[in-house]
Structure 1
């Protein structure tokens, strides 16, 4: 890809940005968080360092770069700064040409960023986990909660082509909650006491109390 082709590709993306930045009703779209904006700024610096000449040709002036960052913020608003950065770093490792926002978007993987199994690996784990489910050593609580939300009976008795999409949706919802900073933890069952006190029937209590009185009187 020569410099002219590169510039044309970036220009086409930016021409779509103004229409993408508003909803069909003209309402403002979701605003990027400070974390997301900082991640995008870091990504552009990462690209500037790794693709210096290509970067300067793609973003020859300040206004072009500002428009590009607005487009990135619009398209990547569903991902945390950590996920966006990891995706950009993967793109740099895998491409000798300046990545565009769609190539970074394709590499956004919440599960990978947080060290969780992929959706299908999580599905297989949920299907194979023995009962009682809560006592199983889950790779992450999100896998258990996704399985519970999908329904264990449904997972065990439904073909994968039907069950996996349902599980995947529930799993992705939980991944989004993790991105938002929510802590998912399994409830820990209280430990059983070493001894258990059992109340005796009243009649037996009276009999034992009478026997104790008689024993005291003898002495």
Structure 2
């Protein structure tokens, strides 16, 4: 069989070729789609993660693995498909998903099952769904940092999306942007990252009471004497 280094090189070349072939003149919609694709384009770390995933599957599902991938061509096709389909997730998320399916199932997983595993179970981390988070972010009172958030991820996704952008655009425009940031932050949380708490403005040490009319007049008179007017 083709060795790992050769396979990685081959997949990387094919990805680069497919990206170069798409850099033709395009309208605004095509440019936006191209930008989204670029944001989720496979990296070297993704390629390495997919190779590790298939190595784990070969060890854990030995007979099923060789039955599904009977020759090198089928194996390469599967790796390319999984690579491009799972590039939306961070490499560590892909590996976490692989460990999850191995622990939970005795059968070689489908790509759909793997995607579900990578998506994780946000509710176990106190995370709400993306649309509910978007609604919370839009309805939160100012100052945003002082608001009682259901989870810091909701706040940080709002910061990443830009509060003014969320407030000044319709949901059909703003929500996809917020959702992308929120899901990425959720991935980080599910991978063990501790998000910093929102920086609420500090309360003043002392609370000043407005001066009375008589006190204002007295201070004004003292100021006139100092200035000799």
Equivalence for 2:176? 169
**TM-score scaled to structure 2, two decimals?**
0.54
Q: Does the 8 Å CA contact 1:142/1:184 hold for their aligned counterparts? A: no
Whether contact under 8 Å (2:49, 2:91) holds in the other structure is yes
Q: Give, in whole Å, the separation in 2 of the partners of 1:113 and 1:79.
A: 18
Q: Say whether the 8 Å CA contact 1:47–1:55 is kept in structure 2.
A: yes
The 3 A distance-change label for structure 1 pair 150 and 111 is farther
The change in CA–CA distance for 1:44 and 1:176 in structure 2 (over 3 A counts) is same
Contact preservation (8 Å) 1:82, 1:113: no
Deviation, 1:147, is: 10
Separation of aligned partners in 2, 1:74 and 1:113? 27
Q: CA deviation at 1:53?
A: 0.6
User: 2: CA distance between counterparts of 1:24 and 1:35?
Assistant: 17
What are the ranges of 5 or more consecutive residues in structure 2 without an aligned counterpart? 1-10, 24-36, 211-215
TM-score by length of 1: 0.56
2:118 pairs with 1:117: no
> Structure 1 residues 129, 176: CA separation in 2 closer, same or farther (over 3 Å shift)?
closer
Alignment of 1:24-173 (within 5 A): 26-27=21-22, 31-109=41-119, 112=122, 115=125, 116-120=127-131, 122=133, 126=137, 133-144=144-155, 145=158, 148=163, 150-151=166-167, 169-173=176-180
